Structure 1
């Protein structure tokens, strides 16, 4: 197994090392909770303030304070987080929670410029400290460019997911046209984030990563067959939608037809089977590449499978790291690159089954089994 007992000055964390730690996922999910809570709260904040009699200028004070909060967040990230990472994240969350709780027994505070400014500052601090501190934590592990970029990309998906938060916040606001449900949900997000961070301990990645190795016997698969199995469901769904649209354009009612329902069930069954095969392929490819040669760049098969199917952008990121690993192994043997990282990245986000087929083809060659020209 690779030597992981080198001094901290020589360590180089890989994406797989990051994803195999509790602290990474604690930061991921706490960041997700804060992004959801913050985005939802800021969406309905103007409505709550107007109901409390605040003017547009008073509401602007909150957002001005939120902007200044980024300065405080940057200070915590660059000065405190490098030594006391967990405290740098938890402290502003607790202060923000205390200030937010004050609104519940004293609704008149919604119209207080001084209080709104204070709340804006701590609110902005919480939203600023996480992305900056996370980047500092990751850099501490001295990862390569691709590993750092992929680890940060996965964390950035929390911002994408938070785009759905305004829907939930609007629904909560509509329950009684008041601040209590929205603020309570915001406080719940803050509390859950703290609960996740407390057991994480030291958030810096400045020690040697934990070694892991779960090998499986390498197997050759047809890249074309793998890609076809995975691309079949979206193609069938697209063709079925086109067919229904054409029939409806001719005033034919096909939505309630038994044939349409049977076709829909068939497509659904194929989609489920393809999803199961995707999970199986991700599981096998991580174990098989580990069986061909040990590497700290590989996740365990179970972890790779769960990340690919549960984490947003998890599959494209894993595919990119697998491609980089296969190229690295080929260069170590004195061969050229097995796969184009540029094209792999393009297909990973446009049509992942094609990228998966590219990985399988490169894996076949790395096993010494030859490529599938199909």
Structure 2
């Protein structure tokens, strides 16, 4: 059976709404592509400029300094850009990216250092804007300060990882392919922004439909062993548990069954996110039944991050407790 998942009031989005929306993934991919291109250009400058263009080290240091200035000014400019809660700031950043890439990677002689500076500045300026714009857009959708802090930290962490580990692979790429890769990636990133609706997250989230099934008890130990020896079982288990939860109490905070399966298959650390949400929902159901809520959600999150089979076993044990409590209360009422 398929049901329509209810929405929050006042046009508020939930984490499940975001993760099920193309708007979220389109913006995230654009930020990743922009960070990758900016870091690629920085790595490219240190090695390839001195080797192929014979640019002196002092000029390279000036270019890199302008890049950092552009990043800081971009973060300052994002305070103003964030007030425009539509897709147009993203198009503005995409335009900066295209101009920066063209200026940066179409330089053929050392006399065009100014174009290198402009290109590097514009790309870093765009990254600076997106570093605050992405968390702010999602904060405006959910209205949670915790969401803003987590996303801002993740944006900084991702940029740090790309900037420090990309040079390991950059030197194996032939020199003549660098500009082609960068220009192609910037065009693809722009194409991901085109289908975004004008209002972004300032309107109510789209309706979501989820398949359901009647909940059944399962032994947590067996679930953990299957998840450990057959990793693909984790995907099946998340689909099944979300079907059961949406059957018991349709909630806008939960993913649809299909969405949970895709998320657990393609997104790193998705098991922790799904287990935390499931734990909170089941604890609420147990509290409504005047039952012991069991292990705290923090421990479920800890084990889902450290060792996902144990995390899903904890959730299965909570679900079993609710199924038994619900059956007992139903028999008492009858």
TM-score bracket, shorter-length normalisation:
0.7 to 0.9
Residue number in structure 2 paired with 1:181: 177
- The reply on whether 1:293 has 2:255 as its aligned counterpart is no
The separation in 1 between residues aligned to 2:279 and 2:146, in whole angstroms, is 11
Superposition deviation, residue 217 in structure 1: 1.6
Given the alignment of the two structures, is residue 364 of structure 1 paired with residue 296 of structure 2, yes or no? no
Alignment of 1:127-138 (within 5 A): 127-138=127-138
Q: Which consecutive unaligned segments of at least 5 residues does structure 2 have?
A: 327-334
**TM-aligned CA deviation for residue 105 of structure 1:** 4.7
- TM-score, scaled relative to structure 2: 0.84
Contact 1:309 1:315 in 2 (8 A): no
Return the alpha-carbon distance in structure 1 between the equivalents of residues 155 and 238 of structure 2: 21
1:314 aligns with 2:270: yes
Instruction: Give the structure 2 partner of residue 225 of structure 1.
Output: 222
Which secondary structure does the structure 2 equivalent of 1:368 belong to? helix
**Closer/same/farther in 2, CA of residues 150 and 221 from structure 1, 3 Å limit:** farther
User: Following the alignment from structure 2 to structure 1, what is the Cα–Cα distance between the partners of residues 84 and 239?
Assistant: 37
2:189 pairs with 1:193 = yes
Report the counterpart of residue 28 of structure 1 in structure 2: 28
Alpha-carbon spacing, 1:151–1:159, altered in 2? closer, same or farther (3 Å): same
Contact map agreement 2:74 2:128 (CA 8 A) in 1: yes
Structure 1 unmatched runs, 5+: 233-273
For residue 3 of structure 1, report the CA deviation from its aligned partner. Answer: 5.9
1:57 matched to which residue of 2?
Answer: 58
- For the aligned residue pairs, the C-alpha RMSD in angstroms reads 2.9
User: Could you tell me how far apart the structure 2 residues matched to 1:77 and 1:335 are?
Assistant: 48
SS at match of 1:357: helix
Task: Report the alpha carbon displacement of residue 126 of structure 1 after superposing the two structures with TM.
Answer: 2.0
Contact 2:242 2:256 in 1 (8 A): yes
Corresponding residue number in structure 1 for 2:204: 208
Q: What is the match of residue 240 of structure 2? A: 284
**CA contact under 8 A between 2:272 and 2:308: conserved in structure 1?**
yes
Give the conservation status (yes or no) of the 8 Å contact 1:72–1:125: yes
Q: TM-score, normalised by structure 1?
A: 0.76
State how far apart, in whole Å, the 2-side matches of 1:124 and 1:324 are: 40
Query: How far is the alpha carbon of 1:286 from its aligned partner?
Result: 1.0
Residue number in structure 2 paired with 1:339: 295
Question: Cα distance 1:311–1:196, how it changes in 2: closer, same or farther (>3 A)?
Answer: same
1:140 aligned residue: 140
Residue in structure 2 matched with residue 17 of structure 1 by the alignment: 17
Number of matched pairs: 320
SS at match of 1:200: coil
CA contact (8 A) 2:300 2:314 kept: yes
